[in-house]
Amino acid sequence: MKEPLWTLLLASALALGGAPGKARAAERGPNIVLVLADDLGWSDVGFNGRREWSTPNLDRLAAQGTIFTRFYTAAVVCAPSRAALLTGKYTIHDGVSRNNDDLPREEVTIAEALKARGYATALFGKWHHGKPRASTTDAKGPKDGSATSYVHPMDQGFDEFFGFTDATHAWEKFPETLWDGRQRVPVSGYADDLFTERAVNFLKRHRDRPFFLYLPYIAAHFHVDAPEDEVALHRGKFAETDPTQPVNATYAALATRLDKNVGKIARTLEELGLSENTLFVFTSDHGATFEQGNRGASNALDSNRPFRGQKRTLWEGGVRVPAFAVWPGHAPAGVSSPTITHMTDLFPTFLAAAGASPDPTWKVDGLNMLPVWTGRAAAPERTLFWEWRSEGADQLAALRGDLKLVITRGGRPELYDVVKDPAERRDLAPQFPEVAKQLNQSLQAWLKTEVHP
């Protein structure tokens, strides 16, 4: 097992006379709060135009910071998206391209990097592990009810963990048990409410030192189920296939309850006097799903409008997600930015805010966007890539500026201007064959860099 990164870097800092956990106020980096929704569509929030229900807390936060109108996830299913977020690396470079891949222990996460800077770290919500790897699994399986045969969040830099470790249970909105650290414990209540309660407690206990709070909520993933008091607020407002099963009203309740939980986090930060020195980022792991478990809600409510596609597709509806960043005095307030930002950028950007940068040996793919977010530099020109080659899919995509190349199984490369044609209806490849060829060449070169853990 690897020596935890944070212990190595902490020892180095102490040897030089530093004490990262007790940094002077002038040296203290910002607190960082990252809220990740699950299967939340682009237009499921008010700040992106939703009017059928309201998300006042998210909208208020978004107005206090910068809304990213072109924020892209790194993958179109849960495990690859989360691994890319945590490592700052593309799916083909971090060992997690499929939903059943487990994050390799040797990969360095945001939590490990910030922990080495003296941050208290916590994850309350969904940690999606895959199949245990031969190098990290006891042949006899888990011992004593622990989750240590899989790569556990507390193996990857998180001081505290409360939530789901596996995908099978992470769609349970009212779980009977959750992992508290390395032990499974009985619980009662709505999962995201429980995560919020634990987060509020964490904030109160760590108000005097920098912290990284990661809240991967499970709304609005898969099972359409929400607290009855929240559903009651929406009953009768939507056309329903079966009025006795108000699926659309319940989906709306998932979104509005998520908003209320984010509001509790924001109010706690304000009450503790921490808002001014907190970088707060909100986004979703990928677009909304139209699959069976969703029972048609996201489709009926047009959750990904105006985009084409959904979860498990590389159209804009699968990869472009709602996002904003709030950091008073740093990220401009009341701004809607078309700057292209990628999920892998969060790792180096958070680390830059904390006064550091990724070690070159980590081979992080994302870019430090802090100079761009704070208006000190223009966004660099680059090409972004995606792959989804699992569960019978064979999809590839590359984006440079406004032009995006999409290749699906058995199909020829198609080219779209996703700014002028966000629904990706008008293929420009016949008109600009050289552009399509160049993007395809870049995509094929990228695929050759795949790392096999």
| Helices H / strands E in the chain, number of each | 13, 16
**Number of domain units in the chain:** 2
Mean of per-residue pLDDT scores for the chain: 90
Tell whether 292 and 420 lie within a shared domain. Answer: no
Q: What was the pLDDT predicted at 166?
A: 80
CB-CB contact of 149 with 137 (8 Å): yes
Alpha-carbon span 399 to 436, nearest angstrom: 11
Work out the end-to-end distance of the chain between its first and last CA atoms, rounded to an integer number of angstroms: 15
Give residues with Cβ within 8 angstroms of 445, minimum separation 6. Answer: none
Q: Is residue 24 part of a domain?
A: no
What mean pLDDT is predicted for residues 303-329?
96
pTM of the model: 0.91
Predicted confidence (pLDDT) per residue in 429-442, tens digit? 999 999 999 999 99
Is there a single domain that holds both residue 157 and residue 295?
A: yes
- pLDDT at position 131 is 66
Task: Answer yes or no: do 308 and 358 share one domain.
Answer: yes
Q: Looking at the annotation, which residues are catalytic?
A: 78, 128
**What's the confidence (pLDDT) of residue 28?**
80
Average pLDDT over residues 34-55: 97
Instruction: Choose one of 359, 381, 403: the last residue of a domain.
Output: 381
The percentage of the chain sitting over the pLDDT mark of 70, rounded to a whole number, equals 89
Specify if 9 maps to a domain. no
State the pLDDT at residue 146.
Answer: 44
Do 121 and 192 belong to one domain?
yes
* CATH number of domain containing 417: 3.30.1120.10
Average pLDDT over residues 399-411: 93
Domain containing residue 52: CATH number? 3.40.720.10
Predicted local confidence at residue 24, as pLDDT: 40
Identify whether residues 417 and 348 lie together within a single domain.
Answer: no
220-268: per-residue pLDDT in tens? Answer: 998 899 999 999 999 999 999 998 999 999 999 999 999 999 999 999 9
The answer to whether residues 2 and 105 touch, using CB atoms and an 8 Å cutoff, is yes
Residue type, 111: A
Q: Are residues 63 and 158 in the same domain?
A: yes
| 25 occurs within a structural domain | no
Domain-located, residue 69: yes
388 inside domain? no
Going by C-alpha positions, the residue among 55, 11, 217 that lies closest to residue 123 is 217
Domain endpoint, select from 381, 408, 432: 381
pLDDT digits (tens, 9 = 90+) for 323-359: 999 999 999 999 999 999 999 999 999 999 999 999 9
Range of the domain at 437: 394-453
User: Within a domain: residue 389?
Assistant: no
Residues 350 and 411 grouped into a single domain = no
CA torsion 106-107-113-116 (nearest 10°) is: -10
Q: Where are the beta strands (DSSP E) in 285-407?
A: 323-326, 335-337, 341-342, 383-388, 395-400, 403-407
pLDDT in tens, 113-127: 999 999 999 999 999
pLDDT the model gives residue 409: 81
Q: Are residues 421 and 337 in the same domain?
A: no
Looking at the chain, the whole-number percentage of residues with pLDDT higher than 90 is 80
| Residue 14 located in a structural domain | no
CA distances from 193 to 70, 252, 255, 278, 300 (A): 29, 16, 13, 22, 26
Q: How far lies 154's CA from each of 19, 31, 94, 124, 181, in Å?
A: 22, 20, 18, 12, 7
Instruction: Assess whether 211 and 313 both reside in one domain.
Output: yes
Q: Is the dihedral of CA 159, 161, 166, 171 positive or negative?
A: negative
Please check the confidence at residue 387 and state whether its pLDDT lies above 80.
yes
Q: Where do we find the tokens 């359409």?
A: 224
Tell whether 418 and 340 lie within a shared domain: no
Q: Residue 147 pLDDT more than 50?
A: no
104 within a domain of the structure (yes/no)? yes
pLDDT at res. 171: 84
308 shares its domain with 426: no
- Report pLDDT digits (tens) over 203-217: 999 999 999 999 999
My answer on whether 135 and 233 are in the same domain is: yes
Euclidean distance between CA atoms 431 and 415, whole angstroms: 9
Pairing outcome for strands 120-129 and 160-166: parallel
Q: Which of 328, 349, 381 is the last residue of a domain?
A: 381
Burial 152-165 (b: 16+ CB within 10 A, else e): bbbbbbbbbbbbbb
